Amino acid sequence: MAAKREAGGYGVIAAAAVTVLLWASAFVSIRSAGAHFSPGALALGRMLTASLALGAIWLARGVGLPPRAAWPGIAATGLLWFGGYMVALNWGERDVDAGTAAMLVNIGPVLIALLSGWLLREGFPARLLAGVTVSFGGAVVVGLSESHGGRTSVLGVLLCLAAAASYSVAVVCQKPALRHASALQVITFASLIGTLACLPFAGQLAAQLARAPLPATLNVLYLGIFPTTLGFTTWAYALARTAAGTMGATTYLVPVLVIAMSWLFLGQVPGLLTLAGGALCLAGVAVTRRGTFRPGTVSSSTERAVAPPVTDAAP
């Protein structure tokens, strides 16, 4: 039993790490592809790719349709996260500099911690609240350091805030769905719903695909296959086995990795203030995760989060 719990704990850590790494890489790809695709077209191209890939895996695995009880959470995830969030964020980043956008979107984990503590009855552990506060402070420092005093669009700010709110509510809605269906089932059908929600942009996507250079098109395919198909599946796997507030806090690592990747691939050298903010983000995440997955043990929050149907059906 202890060995099984240890493997499960390390599996959650590995899944969360894959998710954070892939979601961070998405920002680099979006910056490149966004020069050739409008926000809606980019979201649709990404979701079409993901839906095809996930659909193929779903058929190969033969896991069947999700139970009826999982569909409200699946629908909310598809509409709010795979539809509204992606379009709003793509659009918002056109009017708001990257640092400010990162700061605004990182309100999301705070909202997740509050909503999951209230609606999912996960409570408000002092360690979680302390870690979220430290990480949010780090995100604010990163945002301020990266803003460079640029002019901020009110519309861009509102779109980034809308993206953060959509993402937060979707996570809280997704958590109950994972008690009834596997991660593969939830993400596959949520992606299909998100694709349907983005279909009004089909004309833009077709026209822009005809003009876009090959690297931009490959970026769209990358976004669909890796950050979406793989990244969201590993996210759902980990979310099914730990508290939503803790998983939300883990995403504070994303902007830190984005800075590192921009430094490595785009030659954008971060300043000392940016590095200090990133260190705060890391410290906050460490506080929220401390003691959650000790070898041979499972924390009380994880025990509450894991439901037998999910454990048996997880991909």
pLDDT tens track for 34-49: 889 999 999 999 999 9
Decide if pLDDT at 308 tops 60: no
CB 232 within 8 A of CB 240: no
Q: What total of structural domains would you count in the chain?
A: 1
Q: Which residues have CB under 8 Å from 300's CB, separation 6+?
A: none
7-15 mean pLDDT:
76
pTM assigned to the model? 0.74
Return the higher-pLDDT residue of 239 and 95: 239
- pLDDT score at 307: 35
- pLDDT score at 294: 43
Displacement of CA 314 from its chain's centroid (Å) = 19
CB 259 within 8 A of CB 103: no
Q: How many CB atoms are located within 10 Å of the residue 159 CB?
A: 24
pLDDT tens track for 227-253: 999 999 998 898 888 876 666 566 667
- pLDDT score at 261: 77
145-171 mean pLDDT:
73
CB 90 within 8 A of CB 43: yes
300-313 mean pLDDT:
33
- pLDDT score at 271: 66
Residue 87's pLDDT band (cuts 50, 70, 90): very high
Residue 20's pLDDT band (cuts 50, 70, 90): confident
Range(s) of the domain holding residue 265 = 2-313
Nearest-CA neighbor of 285 among 20, 7, 9?
20
Residue 177's pLDDT band (cuts 50, 70, 90): very high
Decide if pLDDT at 291 tops 70: no
Displacement of CA 258 from its chain's centroid (Å) = 13
